[in-house]
Amino acid sequence: MVPYVSGGYGWDTSRMLAELPSMVENDGHYLNVQMMDLLVAVYDPTGENAENPLAWPYSATEADVAGLPQHVVTMNELDPLRDEGIAYYRLLQRAGIPVVGRVNLGLTHAAEMSFRQAVPEVYRAAVRDIHGFAASL
C-alpha cells in the first residue's frame, strides 16, 4: 500500500520529473517530499545505500526480485509516492511475479486507511483486496 521504495525524495527536480513526476506533481497533497527525504536520512544516514535494491526496491532489477511471492500494490492518484509504486508494480510484472495493482483516483497518501470514514467505499474495497489476497495464499 502506497509504496515508499525509491529513496529519491531529495533528488533534484529535473530527475524527479524525468523518473517519478508524482513527487513534484503531488508534493504537499497531505505528504511533503522534503519530509520524506528526512525519513530517508533516518533510514540510511550516510546515503551509502541510495541505489541498494535491498534498501530501495525502485533500484532493483528483474533478477533482484525474481522468486518474490505474489504482491498486491496499491497507489493513490494524489500521492507523491504514486509513480514509484507504479514502477515497482511494473518491475514485478516484468519479472513474472504474480501482482495485482490498483490506483485509487482522487486520494492522497494512504487516504483509504487514514480517512476511512470520509471514503468508506474505498476503505471497504481496500479491506476486500487485502482479505482476498491473504485468502489466496
- The whole-number pLDDT of residue 136 equals 81
- The whole-number pLDDT of residue 76 equals 97
Predicted TM-score of the model (pTM): 0.92
- The whole-number pLDDT of residue 133 equals 83
Q: Which CATH number fits domain 13-135: 3.40.50.620, 3.40.50.1820, 3.40.720.10, 1.10.260.40?
A: 3.40.50.1820
Q: What is the 3-state secondary structure (H, E, C) of the chain?
A: CCCCCCCCCCCCHHHHHHHCCHHHHCCCCCCCHHHHHHHHHHHCCCCCCCCCCCCCHHHCCHHHHCCCCCEEEEEECCCCCHHHHHHHHHHHHHCCCCEEEEEECCCCCCHHHHCCCCCHHHHHHHHHHHHHHHHCC
Q: Sketch the domain layout of the chain as residue ranges.
A: 13-135
